[in-house]
A and B are shown apart, each in its own frame.
Chain A
Amino acid sequence: SQWGEENLQALSIQEGEDVTMNCSYKTYTTVVHWYRQDSGRGPALIILIRSNEREKRSGRLRATLDTSSQSSSLSITAAQCEDTAVYFCATDGAGGYKVVFGSGTRLLVSP
Chain B
Amino acid sequence: GGIITQTPKFLIGQEGQKLTLKCQQNFNHDTMYWYRQDSGKGLRLIYYSITENDLQKGDLSEGYDASREKKSSFSLTVTSAQKNEMAVFLCASSPGQNTEVFFGKGTRLTVV
Contact = CB atoms under 8 A, between A and B. Distances in A.
Interface of A: 2-8, 30-31, 33, 35, 40-45, 48, 50, 88, 90, 92, 95-104
A5 B44 contact: yes
23 contacts: A2-B44, A4-B41, A7-B40, A7-B41, A8-B40, A30-B98, A31-B98, A33-B100, A35-B101, A42-B90, A42-B105, A43-B90, A48-B99, A88-B42, A90-B101, A92-B97, A97-B48, A98-B45, A99-B45, A99-B48, A101-B42, A101-B43, A103-B42
A2 B41 CA distance: 11
Taking residues whose C-beta sits less than 8 angstroms from the other chain, chain B's interface range is 20 to 34
A97 B101 contact: no
Nearest to B92: A42
A31 to B, nearest CB: 5
B56 A41 contact: no
A2 B44 CA distance: 8
B50 interface: yes
A98 B42 contact: no
B100 A48 contact: yes
A6 B101 contact: no
B5 to A, nearest CB: 12
A8 B56 contact: no
B25 interface: no
Interface in B97-112: 97-101, 103-106
Contacts of B59: 2, 100
Contact of A102 (B31, B42, B94): B42
Contact of A4 (B33, B44, B96): B44
Nearest to B99: A48
A35 B44 CA distance: 14
Contacts of A3: 42
Contacts of B101: 33, 35, 43, 45, 90, 99
